[in-house]
Structure 1
Amino acid sequence: MLKNYFITAIRNLQRNRSFTVINVLGLALGISAALVLFKYVIFEKSFDTYLSNYDRLYRFTKRVESPNMVDLEGGVPNPFAKSFSIDYPELGTACRTFYTGENQLSVKNLTGDWVHYEQPDGIAFADSTFFKLFDYDWKIGDPKTALNKPGSAVISTSLAEKFFGVTDGGYDRVLGKAVKMNNKVEVFITGVVADPPKNASVPFKLIMEYEEVAKIFDFYQPESWTSTSSNAQVFFLANNNVTQKQIEDVLPDFAKKYIPESENATSFHVQSLAEMHFQPEFNTYENSAVNPDLLTVPIAVGVFLILTACVNFVNLSTALAIKRSKEVGIRKVLGGHKKQLILQFLGETFLITILSVLLSMGVAELIMTNMEELVGYNLSLDLFNDMQLLSVVLTVIVGVTLFAGLYPSFVLSKLKPVTVLRGKGQTAMSGNINTRRGLVIFQFFISQVLVICTLVVISQMKYFGNSDLGFQKESIITFPLPSPEASKLEVMRNELVRFPGVQNVSYAFGSPLSTNNIGSTFGYAPLETQGQFDVAYKVIDDNYLELYEIELLAGRDIKKGDTLTEALLSMEALKLMEMDDPNEAIGKEISSGFAGPKKVVGVFRDFHNKDLKEKRDPMVMVTYPDYFYEGAIKFNGDEGQTSELIAALEQAWMAQYPDTLFDYTMLSEQIMENYNDEANVLTLFQLFSGIAILIGCLGLYGLVSFMANQKKKEIGVRKVLGASVNQILNIFSREMLVLIAIAFLIAVPFGYYFMNDWLSGFEYRIELNVWVFVIAMAFTLVVGMVTTVLRSLQAAVSNPVDSLRSE
């Protein structure tokens, strides 16, 4: 019997090839997209779970409250780890880490010359206790002693291959080799480890002994409790039976003991590794943390895509049911039971689902291996090593088979033999039309919500790109400075200003929107505030305002050659002094956490020192040549002249810094990189809304097919009586317009709610306008109309003789 069911199912699928192909493709599209989304969520939830000490590992964080803001930091003062270990040795082991991100690494070639490489990630410093906390697969070396000595370092296998060409496992040849960082720090390899997995929050590939950080980090103050770098983080391995609450309970007294009373209110907190990955408000290495609320979106989208694919299957199956109604009648006359018929049709659904899942797995694997630009890493299904995803696939197979197959099975199996064998199968099926209409409405509801989301994200991205940031961003090239030696910078300036089209050259700590900010405090004596204000300090030269076209509202620019005695204030900073008139601040003295008191010589118009997702800070500008770490060139010229200017810049650069790789950035492009996450969201919405619309169109195709079969004789009569093709098409078009309109009315409040909630995460945002919803409606109507016309045209041009000859 089972063999007969199988053979019959195969024959039916072959007999209705077009419906089979559409069903398989529709389900495969929905399932493949869902598998990618589910794998992404599973992967994000797996961060750091590979660590043997996962349940006992923590990170210390800091919270600083000033009169004007609350600052949350993943970094803590440098003496924190040592002091905590001395005061509370019974709690566990502390380890300092310092992550530097992108840097230049150099190694010696066979002739003894240094060869330079740009290393984009994985460079860090750590205490010798690091390998007690974090698991690495050791190829050679001793984790207990690898970082004990100054100048020691551990390298990963990928870097050993990249720098030393070790591809045969002979890692002993790497031991003792020298690696130089930014021509300032030279270390020697004491061990080789496997690369950390993709789901590591601490993705270190070159780990140097911690004290070496003093050679490259100007702000390193080993005994200071008032200076903190966000990259200087302390991890903690709790002893057995020590809870997170026990650690948290000692931190108030610890902060009171070491933080000076003159500082703003500072408290320390402890964060588990699981919390660390899902609390992006604290900075993490490589910004790997994600908002846990955002992980519900991929799950919801994945489920809805599968549901829309199932709805599409139901519509097409019930459209096909009219053709199979006589088959059902004959089976029942010959003694077929309702349960046997249900099993037969569920079996066919199961076959289609299996084919769809197999196809979707190939598509999903192809997508996952090309995801790096979107999420920063590639994935793989790897079903037999990922039990969670395997259970999801099995659930999808069973769920889709039941959800997509039960309704058509019950509809077909309950047909009465007398009715269908008299040729009244269409009449018997007509009672299910409202169900199919409801399913199509559901499909287009999902499609229109995704289209609305896509349009809103596009509008917000345009807002990011077109907003006035308060400074000039076009036609500016920025480049890092390996060292701020005044003589070298002056030679470079003189070389560059002679190039045609160059309008200005400036040196500073960073561009107006650079993440290289110096956060510190300032105060104004006449104000009796508790604590001092937190502000962003910008280190600039005397060309900075002119090059970036930052408007000076009162006073003058900082004098050339001044060093930390004069200051410029932003209007936001002026408001903290309780002043409205910029001229009132000129000549006033302010206290400063950045190198002492200063005299206000000018006030400038506010500009955005952060991306538009965050509120801009009050700012203070000072000049300090020792902190010039970025150059900028303002120019005008076409694309060809820009290329020539970059070549001239590289030549001037190499003349001053021959041992450093040249790099540059177009400021306008660099600014848009701040919105890569939003750009990735847009790409995903475009992809999934396209899939949802395609599946929705297949469902609409199924409904129109059903209507065409049901109205076959009606259309024949209308044509005999003189109805035109356009009049016949109108019958189907009216139906489609009503369904899409109903779906739109349901989609609008959902789309508005979701996107208003998404936009609320931005300090500067667009307003949701009616036109977004109008365009979504119009787009869906056009797509639906094309689908309807393509299918209904076949019925409209058919010969009425074919449908009426039996009458």
Structure 2
Amino acid sequence: MLKNYFITALRNLSRNRSFTIINVFGLALGISAALVLFKIVLFEKSFDTYLTHYDRLYRFTKKVVSPNSVELEGGMQNPFAEAFKNDYPDLGIPVRTFYIGENQLSVQNVTGDWSHFEQRDGIAFVDADFFKLFDYEWRVGDSETALSKPNSAVISESLAEKYFGVTDGGYDRVLGKEMKLNNELTFFISGVVSDPPKNASLPFKLMIEYESVEAIFDFYQPDSWTSTSSNAHVYFLANENVTGDQIRSVLPEMAEKYMPEGENETIFQLQALADMHFQPEYNTYGNIAKSKDFLTGPIAIGIFLILTACINFVNLSTALAVKRSKEVGIRKVLGGVRNQLVLQFLGETFLITILAMLFSMGVAELVMTNMEDLARYNLSLDLLNDTPLLMVSVAIVVGVTLMAGLYPSFILSGLKPVAVLRSKGQSSLAGNANTRRGLVVVQFLISQVLVICTLVVISQMKFFEKKDLGFRKSSIVTFPLPSNEADKLDLIENELMTFPGVEKVSFSFASPLSDNNIGSTFGYAPLETTGEFDAAFKVIDENYLELYDIELLAGTDISEYDTALAEALISEQALKLMGLENPQDAIGETIRSGFGGSKRVVGVFKDFHNKNLRNKVDPIIMVKYPGYYYEGALRFEGSDNEMSGLIAKLESAWTAQFPDIIFDYSLLSDQIMQNYEDEANVLRLFQIFSGLAIFIGCLGLYGLVSFMANQKTKEIGIRKVLGASVGQILNMFSKEMLILIGIAFILAAPIGFYLMNDWLSGFEYRIELSLWVFAAAIGFTLLIGAVTTALRSFKAATSNPVDSLRSE
């Protein structure tokens, strides 16, 4: 019997090749997209689970409350770890880490000269106990002593190969080798370890003894409880039988004991390592943390795509049922029972699903190994070693077989043999038309929701590009400064100003909208507040405002001759916190500053966005500190062709002053859009999957129109004999399509509005949802649906009526 089912299934699939191909292709698209999405979700949920002490690992964080803000921070004060270890030695082991990411590394070549390389990730300073918390496989060296000496470092296999050419496993040759970091710190290799896996929250490849950070980080204050870097984190391995609540219970005592009086309230917190990857509100290395909502979206889209593919299968199968009605009748006359027929048709569905799964696995593998630009990592199916994904794949095959196969199976197996053998199979199937229409509505409901989401994300991205940020962002080139020696900066400025089109050169800590910010506090004596106001401090020179076109509302710019470094410019937001309305009233006033002492206000400037548009504008204070100039910028008014000459000039001036540093530069406009990389990836995902949903939906619509054409074969023949034109026949099919897409849109519009309004609520500055988005969605879907309907119905409208009426 099973052999008969299998042979019959193959014959039917072969006999109806076009339907088979469409079914396999539609299912494969839905399944492959779902596999990719589910693999991404499983990967994101796997972060750090490989660690031996995963359940006992934590990170200390803090909440800082000021009169104007509440800040959640992952960065911790440098003395915290040692103080906690001394006060509570029985609770566990605290470990400091300081991640610096992209920097320059140098190694000596065979001639004894130093060769310079740009290392874009993986550089960190860590405590000697780091390897007690985080697992690495040791190739050479001792985890207990590798970081016990000053300026010692442990390097990964990939970096040992990159910088020392070790490809034969002889890692012992690397021990004792010297390297330089930014030409400021010389360190030696004391161990080689495996590379961290892709799902590591701490992607460290070069780990340097922690105290060496002082050589390269000007803000390092080893004993300060009032200074924090966002890159300085403290991780904690709890002793066995020590719970998270026990650790949290002592944190208030830590704050009370060590935080100086007069500082803003600081609340120390404990974050389980298992939660760290899903709490992006606390900063993480490389900003790889994802909100838990991120996981919901891919799962929902994956399920919807599979559902859409199953609906497509059902519609095509029922369209084919008319042709198979006599087969069912003959089987029943010969003794076939309904259960046998259901199993036969389910077997055919299972065979198609298996073919689709095999095809989709190849497509999914191809996509996952080439998606680094979209997801920042590449993946692989690897079903044999990925039990959760294997279970998901099996569930997909079983689920798709049942969802896609049960309805057509029961419809076909339920046909009356007498009716179908009298050629009334068509009328027997007609009663299920509303079910098929409902399935098409569900397909286009899903498609239109995705189209609405795509259009909203596109609009928000265009808003990011066009939004006035309060400063100039075009025609500005920025470049890092390895040194802030005044004579070198003067030479660079003079050299650049000789190039035609260069209007201004400025040196500062960072551009107006930069991740590199100095957060500190300020106070104003006439106000009696508890604590000081949080503010973003910008270190600038006298050319900064003019270069970036930042509008000065009152007073003067910072002075070139402010040698006492006592002047300050404040923003409108800072003015409001001082309780003043008129910018002129602030000129000459003195403010207390947590960054460099008291300052005299010499100017008030218009607010600008110092963070991306997800966040509100901070109060900003600008001060002059030449010792903190880490970035140069120039404004260039010239053609694109002249830009290449300018960059060559800039590189020449750079190399003359910093011959041992790799030259680098970037366009400010590009830097700004990098702030919205996550949104750009969301857009690409929506574009891809809404396109898939629409395409699969069109296959379902094709199935419905095919069914209608089979049902109305004789009706069409009679209409044509009575003089109906091709256009009138096409119109008969189009009305059905318009009604179904219209119903789908009525349901999709409120769903899309709710979802995207919720997404947009995460932005302080956002577009308003407008009617054109929904009009464009329905218009686009109608156009696609009309084309699909026309392609299938045109064949029926142009067929010879003699062929359909001959049997009458």
Q: Do they fold alike, i.e. is TM over 0.5? A: yes
Q: What does 1:701-720 align with in structure 2 at a 5 Å threshold?
A: 701-720=702-721
* Structure 1 residues 422-501: aligned runs within 5 Å: 422-501=422-501
* Mapping for residues 61-140 of structure 1, pairs under 5 Å: 61-140=61-140
Report the counterpart of residue 370 of structure 1 in structure 2.
370
> Hey, what does 1:23 align to over in structure 2?
23
SS at match of 1:662: coil
**Does residue 1:393 correspond to 2:396, yes or no?**
no
**2:296 equivalent in structure 1:** 296
Residue 732 of structure 1 aligns with which residue? Answer: 733
What aligned pairs does 1:124-163 form with structure 2 within 5 A after superposition?
Answer: 124-163=124-163
- C-alpha distance in 2, partners of 1:797/1:619? 72
What are the Cα deviations for residues 592-613 of structure 1, in whole angstroms up to 9, with x where unaligned?
A: 0001000000000000000111
Letter in 2 for 1:751: G
The equivalent residue for 2:320 is 320
3-state SS of 2:676 partner = helix
3-state secondary structure, aligned to 2:675: helix
Cα deviation code 1:646-699 (max 9, x no counterpart)? 010000000000000000000001100100000000000000000000000000
Match of residue 532 from structure 1: 532
* 2:677 paired with 1:676: yes
Deviations 1:474-500 (A, max 9, x none): 000000000101000000000000000
Q: Provide the residue aligned with 1:502 in structure 2.
A: 502
User: Could you tell me how far apart the structure 2 residues matched to 1:745 and 1:551 are?
Assistant: 48
Instruction: Report the CA distance between 1:62 and its aligned residue.
Output: 1.2
Residue 262 of structure 1: CA displacement? 1.1
> Distance in 1 between the 2:736 and 2:212 partners?
73
Q: By how many angstroms is 1:179 displaced?
A: 1.1
1:12 is matched with which residue? 12
Amino acid across the alignment from 2:447: S
Which residue in the other structure is 1:259 paired with? 259
Query: Which structure 2 residues correspond to residues 372-771 of structure 1 after superposition, within 5 A?
Result: 372-562=372-562, 563-771=564-772
How far apart, CA to CA, are the structure 1 residues paired with 2:361 and 2:307?
18
Determine the C-alpha separation between the residues in 2 that align with 1:564 and 1:249.
44
Amino acid at match of 1:316: L
Distance 2:114 2:459 in 1: 49
| Equivalence map 1:93-242=2 (5 Å) | 93-242=93-242
AA matched with 1:715: I
One-letter amino acid matched to 2:629: F
Of residues 553-562 and 518-527 in structure 1, the stretch that sits farther from structure 2 once superposed is: 553-562
Quick one: which amino acid aligns to residue 363 of structure 2? V
1:706 to partner: Cα distance: 0.2
SS in 1 for 2:22: helix
Tell me, what secondary structure is at the counterpart of 1:121? strand
> Could you tell me how far apart the structure 1 residues matched to 2:136 and 2:394 are?
34
Q: Could you list the per-position Cα deviations for residues 264-319 of structure 1 after superposition, in whole angstroms to 9, with x for gaps in the alignment? A: 00110111101111110000011111101221110000000000000000000000
Equivalents in 1 of 2:277, 2:517: separation in Å?
24
Confirm whether residue 804 of structure 1 aligns to residue 805 of structure 2. Answer: yes
Instruction: Provide the rounded CA distance (Å) in 1 between the counterparts of 2:500 and 2:521.
Output: 42
User: Which whole-Å CA distance do the structure 2 matches of 1:686 and 1:288 have between them?
Assistant: 22
Q: Give the aligned residue type for 1:207.
A: M
Q: CA deviation at 1:167?
A: 1.0
Aligned to 1:795: 796
- TM-score, structure 1 as length reference: 1.00
- What displacement does 1:168 show? 1.1
1:791 Cα offset (Å): 0.2
Once residues 391 and 515 of structure 2 are traced to their aligned partners in structure 1, the CA distance between those partners, rounded to angstroms, is 43
Equivalents in 2 of 1:366, 1:799: separation in Å? 45
Rounded Cα–Cα distance in structure 1 between residues aligned with 2:419 and 2:800:
27
Matched residue pairs, number? 807
Q: Which amino acid aligns with 1:493?
A: E
Aligned residue number for residue 334 of structure 1: 334
Q: CA deviation at 1:564?
A: 2.6
How many Å separate the matches in 2 of 1:483 and 1:789? 68
TM-score by length of 2: 1.00
Give the drift of 1:101.
1.0
> Separation in 1 of the partners of 2:561 and 2:202?
42
Q: 2:312 and 2:322 mapped to 1: Cα distance?
A: 17
Aligned partner of 2:784 in structure 1 is: 783
Distance 2:90 2:293 in 1: 37
Q: Distance in 2 between matches of 1:293 and 1:418?
A: 55
Cα separation, partners in 2 of 1:561 and 1:105, compared to 1, 3 Å: farther
Q: Which amino acid aligns with 2:368?
A: M
Letter of the 1:557 counterpart: D
Cα distance in structure 1, aligned partners of 2:605 and 2:416 = 84
Shift of 1:701: 0.1
Q: Could you tell me which amino acid in structure 1 is paired with residue 772 of structure 2?
A: W
Residues 240-273 of structure 1, C-alpha deviations (whole Å, 9 max, x = no match)? 0000000000000111000001100011011110
The alpha carbon displacement at 1:69 in A equals 0.2
Whole-Å separation in 2 of the counterparts to 1:179 and 1:17: 65
The structural deviation recorded for 1:721 is 0.2
| Amino acid of the structure 2 residue aligned with 1:558 | I
Any unmatched runs of 5+ in structure 1? Answer: none
Given residue 83 of structure 1, which amino acid in structure 2 is its aligned partner?
A: A
Q: Single out whichever of 728-737 and 162-171 deviates more from structure 2.
A: 162-171
Q: For residues 757 and 70 of structure 1, what CA distance do their matches in structure 2 show?
A: 23
Between the aligned partners of 1:693 and 1:48, the Cα distance in structure 2 is: 37
Q: Secondary structure at the match of 1:122?
A: strand
| Structure 2 CA distance for aligned equivalents of residues 306 and 724 of structure 1 | 39
Quote the Cα distance in structure 1 between the aligned partners of 2:780 and 2:459.
16
**Helix, strand or coil for the counterpart of 1:221?**
coil
Amino acid at match of 2:728: Q
CA–CA separation in structure 1 for the residues paired with 2:715 and 2:8: 32
Output the CA distance in 2 between the equivalents of 1:376 and 1:145: 34
Tell me the equivalent position of 1:39. 39
> In the aligned structure 1, how far is the partner of 2:116 from the partner of 2:616?
39
The aligned amino acid for 1:766 is I
CA distance in 2, matches of 1:515, 1:435: 55
Any idea what SS the aligned residue of 1:120 has?
Answer: strand
- Identity across the alignment (%): 72
> How far apart are the structure 1 equivalents of 2:447 and 2:167?
50
Which range moves more in the overlay, 789-798 or 334-343?
334-343
Q: Structure 2: which amino acid aligns with 1:445? A: L
Amino acid at match of 1:467: K
SS in 2 for 1:235: strand
1 CA distance for matches of 2:269 and 2:758?
29
The separation in 1 between residues aligned to 2:606 and 2:797, in whole angstroms, is 67
SS at match of 2:263: coil
Specify the SS of the correspondent of 2:516. coil
CA distance in 2, matches of 1:170, 1:40: 36
Amino acid of the structure 2 residue aligned with 1:584: D
Distance 1:581 1:759, change over 3 A: same
The residue matched to 1:47 in structure 2 has which SS?
Answer: coil
2:243 counterpart of 1:279: no
Partner amino acid for 1:518?
Answer: I
Gaps of 5+ in 2: none
**How far, CA to CA, are the matches of 1:594 and 1:669 in structure 2?**
30
